């Protein structure tokens, strides 16, 4: 049984997220599409931006194209419909729009290459995925073409497949460290159901920084955390147990809070995509007792590795695969370039 068949038994929507450009995200998508063909799984394919073109519109470099088998449900904007090599049957004109026009849901009737696109708005993307399942898709694959962090947000999909590889660094150790950092933050503890979660969600609804002190809530007159470090340092006292931050958690915010105060409180974020702290700084903070929980964490279905970088250097593919499997624990790790 292939990895896709196993995933289809557990998830309905899987987002493919790249650690960086050229980490192998589209190669991973094509690998899963090929497995769907072999396993007879009817998939839906969409994107948070645009994908499937043969040249990267930003860098001008060559890109893997997206080949879809007959029966696949795909989202295509009107301006890209005529560019498809595949035969497409229009099933539905949707209420969703992109810069390339109104989105259509199509069924592939003759296999071939297709340029795909989808809504950037998270709520619209979720609704459109539901429509694709209504049209017969058993599993939706979402290509994260816009931004690694936004597509990873748990509201977008049931789980993600994270693509990583040599593009991150010439150092194999550094590649593993950076990937492990993302894996660890995406799996931060989730605030369980109960009074505390309800209280924090109230703060989230107001989109304001909130401190919980001895069972009472205290809101700060700040909607963003970007300039909040010094104000938080003044507000945190011995009674403070929890600090909810609705926006980004950055090094500048934490750096303005006295280290002794970091040990006594737990910070809470909406989800791990709000963390903008590098791997080394994160490890140092954690060693000093820094604690973070989230309202929603991110399910990681699998990890894929790409041993090649566009700058011309590469790793031994088995060495990279072995190192990443040792770091990832129980998360399946796949080398899609070599089928391992």
Domain count for the chain:
2
Is residue 340 included in any domain, yes or no? no
Cβ-Cβ contacts under 8 Å for 248 (sequence gap 6 or more):
224, 225, 226, 274, 275, 276
Does the pTM of the predicted model rise above 0.95?
no
Q: How far does the chain reach from its first CA to its final CA, in angstroms? A: 13
Taking the C-alpha atoms of residue 238 and residue 25, their distance in angstroms, rounded to an integer, is 46
Q: Is residue 263 part of a domain?
A: yes
CATH number, domain containing residue 172: 3.40.50
Same domain, 243 and 331: no
Measured CA to CA, the distance from residue 144 to residue 151 in angstroms comes to 6
Three-point CA angle 323, 308, 154, nearest 5°: 70
| Strand ranges for 168-259 from DSSP E | 210-213, 216-219, 240-244, 249-250
With beta carbons less than 8 A apart as the criterion, state whether 191 and 294 touch.
yes
- Give dist(CA 35, CA 223) in Å, integer: 45
Q: Which residues pair with 193 in a beta bridge?
A: none
Range of the domain at 151: 3-186+298-335
Does residue 86 share a domain with residue 119?
yes
Output the tens digit of pLDDT for each of the chain's 340 residues.
578 888 888 999 999 999 888 888 888 999 999 999 888 999 999 988 665 455 454 445 456 789 999 999 999 999 999 999 999 999 999 999 988 899 999 999 999 999 998 887 888 888 999 999 999 999 999 987 655 555 667 777 899 999 999 999 999 999 999 999 999 999 999 999 999 999 888 877 888 889 999 878 898 877 555 668 888 888 999 999 999 998 889 888 888 888 888 888 999 999 998 999 999 999 999 988 899 999 999 999 999 999 998 888 999 999 999 999 999 989 999 988 777 6
CB 254 within 8 A of CB 233: no
């Amino acid at each position: 049984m292939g990895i896709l068949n196993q995933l289809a038994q557990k998830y309905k929507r899987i987002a493919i997220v790249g650690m960086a450009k050229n980490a192998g995200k589209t190669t991973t998508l094509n690998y899963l599409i090929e497995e769907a063909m072999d396993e007879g799984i009817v998939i839906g394919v969409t994107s948070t931006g645009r994908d499937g073109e043969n040249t990267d519109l930003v860098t001008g470099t060559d890109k893997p194209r997206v080949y879809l088998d007959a029966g696949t449900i795909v989202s295509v904007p009107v301006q890209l419909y005529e560019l498809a090599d595949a035969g497409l049957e229009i099933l539905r004109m949707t209420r969703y729009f992109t810069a390339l026009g109104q989105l259509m849901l199509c069924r592939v009737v003759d296999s071939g290459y297709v340029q795909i696109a989808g809504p950037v708005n998270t709520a619209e993307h979720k609704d459109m995925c539901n429509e694709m399942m209504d049209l017969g898709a058993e599993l939706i694959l979402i290509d994260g073409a816009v931004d690694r962090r936004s597509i990873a947000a748990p509201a977008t999909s049931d789980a993600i497949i994270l693509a990583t590889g040599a593009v991150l660094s010439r150092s194999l150790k550094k590649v593993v460290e950076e990937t492990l950092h993302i894996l660890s933050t995406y799996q931060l503890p989730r605030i369980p159901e109960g009074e505390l979660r309800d209280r924090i969600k109230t703060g989230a609804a107001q989109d304001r920084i909130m401190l919980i002190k001895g069972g009472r809530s205290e809101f700060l007159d700040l909607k963003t955390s970007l300039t909040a470090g010094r104000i938080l340092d003044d507000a945190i006292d011995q009674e403070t147990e929890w600090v909810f931050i609705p926006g980004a958690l950055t090094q500048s915010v934490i750096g303005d809070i006295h280290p002794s105060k970091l040990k006594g409180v737990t910070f809470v974020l909406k989800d791990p995509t709000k963390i903008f702290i590098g791997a080394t700084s994160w490890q140092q903070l954690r060693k000093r007792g820094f604690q973070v929980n989230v309202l929603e964490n991110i399910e990681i279905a699998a990890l894929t590795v790409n041993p090649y970088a566009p700058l011309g250097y590469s790793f031994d593919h088995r060495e990279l695969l072995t190192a990443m499997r040792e770091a990832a624990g129980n998360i399946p790790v796949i080398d899609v370039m070599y089928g391992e």
